Amino acid sequence: MTDNSRDGGIAPEDIDALVAGRHADPFSVLGPQLRDGRLWLRAFLPGAVTVQAVSDTGGVVDLRPLRAGVFEAQADPGFLPARVGYRLRIQWPGAFQEAEDPYAFGLMLGDEDLALLARGDHDGLEGCLGAHCTTMDGVPGVRFAVWAPNARRVSVVGGFNAWDGRRHPMRLRHAAGVWELFVPRLSHGESYKYELLGPDGGLLPQKADPCAFQAEPAPGSASVVADPEPYAWTDEAWMASRAARHATGAPISVYEVHAGSWLRKENGGTWSWHELADRLIPYVAGMGFTHLELLPIMEYPFGGSWGYQPLGMFAPTARHGSPRDFAAFVDRCHAVGLGVILDWVPAHFPTDPHGLARFDGTALYEYQDPREGFHQDWNTYIYNLGRNEVCNFMRASALYWLGRYHVDGLRVDAVASMLYRDYSRRAGEWVPNRHGGRENLEAIAFLRDLNGRVRRLFPDAMMIAEESTAWPGVTAPPEAGGLGFHYKWNMGWMHDTLRYMQRDPVHRPYHHHDLTFGMVYAYSEQFVLPLSHDEVVHGKGSLIGRMPGDRWQRFANLRAYFGFMWSHPGRKLLFMGGELAQEREWNHDAQLGWDALADPLHAGVQRLVGDLNRTYAGTPALHRLDGDPAGFRWVIGDDDRNSVFAYLRMDGERCVLAVCNMTPVPRGDYRLGVPRGGRWREIVNTDAADYGGSGVGNAGAVEAQQQAAHGLAHSLVLTLPPLATLLLEPE
């Protein structure tokens, strides 16, 4: 049955290319080859002792060794009748293996898929690229596909081939620059990378899969074939109610968390998603927050980046468990009525050699020109959003998290750096756009397209921009010329108000505008008021550490500030530890200072934040018209001498009076106009003894007088506690 004639066999130069790992078209020489009516079977298995081909019909052919691991045999064409496959029976030194020949399988990606990938318009990119457990011709295995149009050769490597890039070179689909290969009998859990020869023929560092759905735990950098079994979601009730929870006017209060340092194990280790679910979720829900926002959990190599230098844009970090574990975490959040927002980083990526940098030996994902493609501040590359394939990749990543993991929103990092070509660059260090301007037209188009798609595909999800400039229309819909985000972080409000709070009260009269200026532009966008992680790092200290005065005054200042924030128009966001009045700056390598809660002043701040959240969510006047000027009215905004601020929050039916005294001086007989008479009840007093305050107030309620003040028909005569915020509503 076997003919070992060399007539028509493999050419010596093909053997040389296979042995050197430089063959650009392995399917032309390996596997079954029909030439002039003759069937040739070939395999490249360096180190193998013997190789046989075993037909599914039972026929056996011995492949004879040629040289350097190349095995070949000529078989009767009847050895492989139509629709019949074969297996390679391989004797290794000390081991035996039997599996189908990867080079006996046909094309995997269809022409339509290739055309859509090439155009950068494939809605299912993640289903084409990456590693997928599948079945081909009845054989189970893993299908690999990766975009690397300029590479001379791409191989998939892993433990299954001793990480030898010569063993599994892939097929190039020229129409899209995608390389593909089916490796039979592999399954999920297998670690792998890609080995590439660049356009100059040089061997590149082995690369993780850009579309990997799972990765090795750091410091490992390999990708992992993910379990294809879909997660069995139980959050139908949450998903059905999400539109109402995210509707304009719904209360949104976000607890921002770094999963690795919220709480640590006794040995300093990090908690798994399951362990975090047991501890973090009840805590956040019990504190009255509506949403949990996680600093980036897409796989990232360097822990000190806090996730802001991710490389696995489709893979939850293995630091806390598997993708299935993360899905279960989200599911459990939804079970208690807690939404999940992920920090997503489309602005840049790190230079790690196993990542996207010079992926196929060229500037593939990044701009070629460093004036466009390199962030000097962060030592990172910038995605080339002028390339359709890169836009498709990034868009697929965002939509993947919203779809695959039922995530309720994405906070998009560093949007300002995407919008401006001269961001953090001096003259001569940037390239103008085609009109000679500083705007990054490609990034603008990408954001509009992405946000438009999110609005269509996930109309009840949120896209939130961290945008620090005065770019117009960040939250306007794309069809109206906006960027299409649902919310924008109000960085100006954060910086202005923190600057005010840091000042000694004796100086605050001269900076009164820092607390009032936010209302000048409060309705230009849909805003989130953030007190984020950025404000407690890099030497800035903690929130409580920035408050002036003696110890009691510092805590009173922070409580008054929180009362002001929760009553001010805008959704709320607080980074973990702020609710504890943590004294030290945040350290990503250590857990929060939970021991501080033994101190009544720290415990009082925590209690206040919980009460503010519950008051905010349970009082429609504080949120229903959050983005509407009809929901706010200054009662007194110009009492700079006393550093007193008073305003009404309204929902069209009811109202709340907020009064802030930003000095340590109690103020009696302070008259403020209100829109209706009757009894007004104190619903929050940040100076209450339960919060660690002095207990100064109005005995829980005060009767309105029929005396007009501040343009309103009635008025209240109040005692204003020192360094405190009062919230009152009519009974």
The residues annotated as belonging to the active site are 413, 466
The contacts found for 106-114 with CB under 8 angstroms, 24 or more apart, are: 107/171, 107/173, 107/180, 108/136, 108/143, 108/145, 108/180, 108/182, 109/145, 109/173, 109/176, 109/178, 109/180, 111/175, 113/176, 114/173, 114/175, 114/176, 114/178
Of the CA atoms within 13 Å of residue 490, those in its CB half-sphere come to: 27
Q: Is 436 left (phi over 0), alpha (psi -120 to 50) or beta?
A: left
Which alpha helices (H) appear in 79-227, and where do they start and end?
111-119, 125-128
Structure-block tokens of residue 405? 């993991």
Asked if residue 107 lies in contact with residue 176, where contact means CB atoms within 8 angstroms, the answer is no
Helices 551-567 and 600-618, packing angle to 10 deg? 10
Q: How far apart are CA 318 and CA 299, in angstroms?
A: 7
> Which residues contact residue 307 at a Cβ distance below 8 angstroms, ignoring those fewer than 6 apart?
258, 295, 296, 297, 298, 300, 317, 343, 345
DSSP 231: P
The sheet carrying 349-350 orders its strands as: 349-350, 380-381, 374-375
For the chain, the C-alpha Rg in angstroms (whole number) is 31
Q: What separation, in Å, do the N-terminal and C-terminal C-alpha atoms of the chain show?
A: 98
Q: How many other CB atoms are there within 10 angstroms of residue 27's CB atom?
A: 19
Q: If you write DSSP's letter for every residue of 146-174 in order, what string do you get?
A: EE-TT-SEEEEEEGGGTT-TTTSBPEEET
Asked if residue 614 lies in contact with residue 288, where contact means CB atoms within 8 angstroms, the answer is yes
Asked if residue 684 lies in contact with residue 611, where contact means CB atoms within 8 angstroms, the answer is yes
H or E segment and range at residue 26: none
Q: How far apart are CA 662 and CA 643, in angstroms?
A: 5
Structure-block tokens of residue 30? 């390996």
